[in-house]
Structure 1
């Protein structure tokens, strides 16, 4: 096992970055993600879905996913450490660097449970400029301010459907003295309890693949964002590099469930989480779904050969 983990770590620690770009105003930048290429039906009426490799009703999936995260809440970050060999912390740090929220930003972090994104944001010193996040992505220069008139303090709302995850996040934030400028809200990504056009940025990290109705969650993300607001998603994805894929598949199916049993006494939850990654739409397909929700200038950036990917889009 140690040899396998060592080989996997050496292999996937190299960050391979590639981009798939589509902008409705800039078709020359990329390729159109056609619905005919999709095997995932965003607006399908079928009431069945998958829980890992098992077909279940959508209501049953919601129930089971809730049970999984109730079980793993205390070990959630350890779980992500196991699934990514600790690299998820580097990915999340890079994820927030890409967003670079400025003072006054209202950030909604969905499925943010344990609040790690909030910790990374609090530790960030890059709160002055927003060069990587223009208010109007079609303009290279101009006023990029999205600050509220009330002041320069940014505010983060962590929203999660699972109360256990929120409890763990609040506890850790309190221990780190990071409770200022943060709200904790129990809510469903498919029916967000927030006003339309109320948020400057929407982030979701390693959460959207566990949502029962993904397209509905994307529609909700679009609804709550202000015009000019940015959607960003970090998620495990389809590995593009053959060498990385072979090593990662071996590690995923042979090692991670065993680690789940050792670390948390829970094989099945970790087995589901691996299967959920394999069932999630590949990068190009998910990018199309983001466009279907109304977002423009959608981009995809692969990390570590596609083990994870950052999806970004703007509400114009």
Structure 2
């Protein structure tokens, strides 16, 4: 059953890369188009180099469900799309993203992997999906949900296009919440990530945004509650690598 749209505001939705009047989505399109060529390197920095392992471990949680049609939201440079196809062997993976430049890089990776007939990429905003109801067995979002300008509208759309008993898999970066881990991670971001980012791109606002949005994004029980309030049922919640990454596996109930 489809859930009604909700209009609640969350702090992370107000975090934008540029101090301008443009909406968050418009700013993010410009930002990701600007840093597309360097994004993969920066994501490795933010994840301590564990992003590939986290994707693999998260996707393994979908194996027992054998999803045949997969939608990857915030597909970016298509790493999750390619890994989803290789690990899960579906009939098709469809990836969407708001950044044309990110998808251009993704298309090159897909061609190089020989998967052009199995993976399709489209420019699309998750809050306005053009797919029919009950189209996908699984929806994946890796390190992208914190970039949603309209979280609940996007969750409503994901719920709509998922088949009953279909699954939503979310991976998102977190700032560790306790003791020396929190202090150590903040120091790592400040002294290493921000300094290294200066050599990757001239757009320093982009990298400040990516870290500040991570800090503002709801995590753990708060995020689970948001997902449940939008109709999803919790299947599994897991933290990776001292809590730097969280995985949420949710299900769309049959009624």
TM-score by length of 2: 0.88
Which is helix-richer, 1 or 2? 2
Deviations 1:86-120 (A, max 9, x none): 11111111111112276661000000121101222
Correspondence for 1:77: 40
Counterpart in the other structure of 2:24: 61
Cα 1:53–1:169 shift into 2, 3 Å? closer
1:161 matched to 2:98? The reply is yes
The SS at the match of 1:306 is coil
Task: Tell me if structure 1 keeps the 8 A contact 2:67–2:138.
Answer: no
How many residues were matched structurally? 247
Distance, in Å, in 1 between the alignment partners of 2:20 and 2:139 is 29
SS in 1 for 2:231: coil
Distance 1:101 1:117, change over 3 A: farther
Aligned to 2:143: 206
Unaligned residue ranges in structure 1 (runs of 5+): 1-41, 128-152
Match of 1:44 among 1, 8, 20: 8
> What value does the CA root-mean-square deviation take over the aligned residues?
2.3
Change (3 A) 1:54 1:122: closer
CA contact (8 A) 1:287 1:298 kept: no
Change (3 A) 1:101 1:221: farther
**1:227-264, Cα deviation, whole Å (9 max, x unpaired):** 01001100012414422211111111232122111122
Q: Which stretches in structure 2 are left out of the alignment for 5+ residues?
A: 1-5
DSSP-derived class of the 1:75 partner: helix
Aligned residue among 77, 99, 112 for 1:175: 112
Aligned with 2:125: secondary structure?
Answer: coil
Question: Do structure 1's residue 314 and structure 2's residue 251 form an aligned pair?
Answer: yes
Higher RCO by CA contacts (8 Å cutoff, separation 6 or greater): 1
Whether 1:115 and 2:78 are equivalent positions in the alignment is yes
Give the conservation status (yes or no) of the 8 Å contact 2:165–2:252.
yes
Structure (1 or 2) with the larger CA radius of gyration? 1
Query: Which one of the candidate residues 181, 187, 191 is aligned to 1:254?
Result: 191
* Contact map agreement 1:287 1:299 (CA 8 A) in 2: no
TM-score w.r.t. structure 1 length?
0.72
CA distance in 2, matches of 1:122, 1:171: 16
- Per the TM alignment, residue 286 of structure 1 is displaced from its structure 2 partner at its CA by 1.1
**How far off is 1:219 after superposition?**
1.1
Asked if 2 retains the 8 angstrom alpha-carbon contact of 1:191 and 1:220, the reply is yes
Seen in structure 2, the aligned counterparts of structure 1 residues 60 and 52 have a Cα distance that, compared at 3 Å, is closer
Structural mapping, 1:268-283, within 5 Å:
268-283=205-220
In structure 1, distance between residues paired with 2:216 and 2:18: 10
- For residue 3 of structure 2, what is the aligned residue in structure 1? none
1:113 to 1:174, Cα distance in 2 relative to 1, 3 A: same
